[in-house]
Structure 1
Amino acid sequence: MGSSAVIYLVRHSKAGERRVWQGEDVDRPLSKTGWKQSQAVARRLSKKKVSSLYASPYVRCMQTLEPLGALVGLPVQAEQRLFEDEPFEPVLDLINEVKDGAVLCSHGDIIPAVINALVRRGMEVETPPDWGKASVWVLRRKGDRITRGKVWPPPVLAAKSAKK
């Protein structure tokens, strides 16, 4: 199977704390650490054959893919089906619709539900699950089925940046 028969499912990077954010949660942006995570994810994914970028319309999801978009010259497209607190089944439909190499960014409730549904449908998981912010699920597709999945854990950031 070629390396392009892959879809990437990214959990958004770290955002500011929900409990201290004053505005609507949909507008909560990435934190400084979140931006660093997004840049690390972008560097790794930019080495792959990325075909398109889709994100939940939440600011933190759109921002998670912006560094990747800048590196590969693709726009980040807002996709309602990746929204938080929504049913996961439309995300399964989206995964079937997108081209190989698509990168999708969503939330901590949607991604485990999608992965568990794919397992029920026969996907083999090659690594222990990791649901951390900025984790990336690499989903291998054969025809119209996701056959294997593995997760890249969140990027490890340099210790000197942790103080900022």
Structure 2
Amino acid sequence: MAGKSTMARKQRPIEAAGVVVLDWHADGSGGEPKVLVVHRPDYDDWSLPKGKLEPDEDVQVCAVREVAEETGITVRLGSPLGTISYPVGDRTKVVHWWAGTPTGGDLLVNGTPSTESGDQEVDRVEWWSISKAEHRLSYSDEAELLDRAVAAGPTGSVVLVRHAKAMSRKHWTGKDWLRPLMRRGRRQSERLALLLEAYGITRAVTSTSTRCVQTLEPFSRRTGIDLVTVPELSEEGYEDDPKGSREVMAELVGRARADLDAPMVVCGHRPVLPMMREALQVADKPMLVAEVLVVHHNRDGHPMAHERVKPSF
């Protein structure tokens, strides 16, 4: 036992996140895209924008934040591209990657602002052709990520959310559809707002039940996007008319998949989630309260990848 006290504890990896930002309309014809790259003077390298997580930050939120800070460009996340790991001193750094699409902002051509000491994290930001990036990116693993993102093409997303933690049924004396979120659920909904914003949600749909509406309200307040309430997605509506609920969900998913630039979130209940997942063509698996399922689709509306984001508390 004495020997254990002298053993060095394995250190947790350094977590970071980045985005392969592709502008698919750069040439005006929807042909070969341009990719966003940065030059870092401390390393004298050309790389894709990325950075370390802040305390208690979701990796998706970090990825979008880092792109904005390093380049001035706002983005929405597309398909996940996996991770890249490499040693940093006596620790391992793990970078989570997504494809992404620019949504606004102004390019920081001259890089990020200098610190008081005159240091600059990024001193040049440019849009490159894919062929130029394949030859001039400083790291081969990032060039491989770029090839993967280009091969996947532009994508859209539909996000399914199970409502955040609500008051227990046994402690609620009113009508069940009026049952509100607990304090924990309200905290979960605030964090969900940032996550949904990272995926560039433009349409927010929810069951009419209070706990679902309250789950998406922080996102609505942050973005100014009005919530669309749909009674057919409530527990009561699904129980009364399962066929009608399926038809409504199918119509919502069809509309979202017809427009890559209009990602949608839908918030529902545990008994209704299997039907909702079926409409998204994803295998049914139980979801935790405040858990998120992101389903990415291509131009033809076919699902290409999906992500599960579990709540951190």
TM-score band, normalised by shorter chain: 0.7 to 0.9
Is 95-104 or 33-42 further displaced after alignment?
Answer: 95-104
Supply the distance in 2 between the matched residues of 1:144 and 1:9 (Cα, whole angstroms): 20
| Per-residue deviation, 1:115 | 1.8
SS in 1 for 2:158: strand
The aligned residue for residue 15 of structure 1 is 166
The aligned residue for residue 246 of structure 2 is 89
Q: Decide which of 62, 68, 93 is 2:213's aligned counterpart.
A: 62
Does 2:261 match 1:110? no
Does 2:154 match 1:2? yes
Counterparts of 1:81-160 in structure 2, within 5 Å, are: 81-85=232-236, 86=238, 87=242, 88-90=245-247, 91-98=249-256, 100-116=262-278, 118-119=280-281, 123=282, 129-143=285-299, 145-157=301-313
Supply the distance in 1 between the matched residues of 2:253 and 2:174 (Cα, whole angstroms): 31
8 A contact 1:7–1:139 mirrored in 2: yes
8 A contact 2:162–2:289 mirrored in 1: yes
SS in 1 for 2:294: strand
Tell me the TM-score normalised to structure 2 length.
0.44
SS in 2 for 1:46: helix
Q: Which amino acid aligns with 1:155?
A: P
Structure 1: segments with no counterpart, 5+ residues = 158-164
Percent of pairs identical after alignment? 28
Number of matched pairs? 150
Q: Which amino acid aligns with 2:273?
A: I
| Per-residue deviation, 1:153 | 3.4
Supply the distance in 1 between the matched residues of 2:273 and 2:301 (Cα, whole angstroms): 17
- RMSD of Structure 2 on Structure 1 (CA): 2.2
The aligned residue for residue 74 of structure 1 is 225
Q: Which amino acid aligns with 2:263?
A: G
- String of CA shifts for 1:68-118, please: whole Å, max 9, x gaps: 111111111111232115125221222112453111111111112332454
The aligned residue for residue 197 of structure 2 is 46
Q: Which amino acid aligns with 2:157?
A: V
Q: Which amino acid aligns with 2:187?
A: K
Structure 2: segments with no counterpart, 5+ residues = 1-152
| Per-residue deviation, 1:19 | 1.3
| Per-residue deviation, 1:141 | 2.3
Supply the distance in 2 between the matched residues of 1:95 and 1:117 (Cα, whole angstroms): 7
| Per-residue deviation, 1:146 | 4.2
Which of the two has higher C-alpha Rg?
2
The aligned residue for residue 36 of structure 1 is 187
- More strand as a share of residues: 2
- Decide whether aligned partners of structure 1 residues 62 and 149 sit closer, same or farther in structure 2, where only a CA change above 3 A counts: farther
- Decide whether aligned partners of structure 1 residues 27 and 75 sit closer, same or farther in structure 2, where only a CA change above 3 A counts: same
Tell me the TM-score normalised to structure 1 length.
0.80
- Decide whether aligned partners of structure 1 residues 155 and 141 sit closer, same or farther in structure 2, where only a CA change above 3 A counts: same
8 A contact 2:280–2:295 mirrored in 1: no
Supply the distance in 2 between the matched residues of 1:146 and 1:34 (Cα, whole angstroms): 33
